[in-house]
Amino acid sequence: MGFTVLLGNQPREFLADAGEKTNRIVRDNLKQLADDPYPRPGSGGGDREKLPVDGREMYRLHIGRSYTAFYTIHDDASEVRVREILPIDEAHKRYGN
């Protein structure tokens, strides 16, 4: 089942301001969500996790060791909605890890 990855306003602005290398790395990681946006415990891929962010259930995707994307999954519409992309330290403050 393939998902469409949609970017909110903040992620679009982030990518517009990012350098070429950062833009490429972030986009490549986000594209992987189209195939499988769900965390797979025990798979060795610790880059995705479901957790509460600002009191709302979301998923996070670590992108390298620099950025974190917060996203929601809408199975009924086969969509992944990327809500925010933040520096990893700022993101950690949002979910307390």
**pLDDT, tens digit (0-9, with 9 covering 90-100), for 53-92:** 878 889 999 998 899 999 999 999 999 999 999 999 998 8
Residue closest to 11 by CA, chosen among 80, 87, 83, 93? 83
What is the pTM for the complete model shown?
A: 0.89
Helix axes 20-31, 9-17, angle to 10 degrees: 140
Q: What residue ranges define each of the domains in the chain, with the CATH number in brackets?
A: 4-38+46-95 (3.30.2310.20)
pLDDT at 97 over 60: no
What are the φ and ψ backbone dihedral angles of 4, each rounded to 5 degrees?
A: -95, 130
pLDDT, one tens digit per residue, over 8-44 is 999 999 999 999 999 999 999 999 999 989 987 765 5
3-state DSSP call for residue 61?
A: strand
Single-letter amino acid code for the residue at 21? K
Place of tokens 């307390």: 96
